[in-house]
Homo-oligomer: A and B are copies of this chain.
Amino acid sequence: MLDAACGLIRDRGYAGVGVAEVCAVADVRKGSFYHYFESKQVLTREVIQEHWQTQRARWVAVLSGGGPPMERLEALFAMQVQDLRAEQADGAINGCLFANLSLELSTQDATIRADLESIFDEQAALVAAVLDDAVVDGSLTPDGSSGELAAAMLAQLEGAVLFAKLRNDAAALDGLWGQLVRLMR
């Protein structure tokens, strides 16, 4: 049910997906749905958490690899590009679940917004830690804090993912790593 909901919500947004539809795709009766989830909001919060647990494990695996910090960062962003290319090959780029829901729900649902804020905070902290490693090994001489730089890099990523979704073309991320290198200079 979480998988079905995740796919539907990434594709159509929160308001665009009904409980009946989630049940139909998951092949579950509506009564069973409410046995597991109090509401669509509760379901969505679980979808968000499960998706982040999966993504987080991949981020940590790539970022805590043994290579030089800059190569680990490059691998993280290359993974995002690869994911979008796979989506495009599957027919449609649905983009980033967290970004989609941020723009749809930030002014609507304080609970989900707080969930999303924590996730983006965690993403920035994961990137900032590797930027700090890069400062230590001398490959980066930052102007400001590593946290601010990490947030700017994630903003560039999310903006590029937005254009990739809009154009259904992962080529919108072709120049991403070059842009991130500029931001780090």
Binding site for B on A (CB under 8 A): 11-13, 15-16, 92-95, 99-100, 102-104, 106-108, 113, 116-117, 120, 143-144, 148, 151-152, 154-160, 162-163, 165-168, 172, 175, 178-179, 182-183, 185
Contact = CB atoms under 8 A, between A and B. Distances in A.
A155 B162 contact: yes
B103 A103 contact: yes
A120 B102 CA distance: 20
Given A103-B103, A182-B182, 5 more contacts: A13-B104, A103-B165, A148-B175, A155-B160, A159-B160
B159 A155 contact: yes
Contact of A103 (B100, B117, B155, B182): B100
A182 B102 CA distance: 27
A183 B179 contact: yes
A104 B116 CA distance: 17
A69 to B, nearest CB: 19
Contacts of A103: 13, 95, 99-100, 103-104, 162, 165
A185 B184 CA distance: 12
Given A183-B179, A183-B182, A166 B12 contact: no
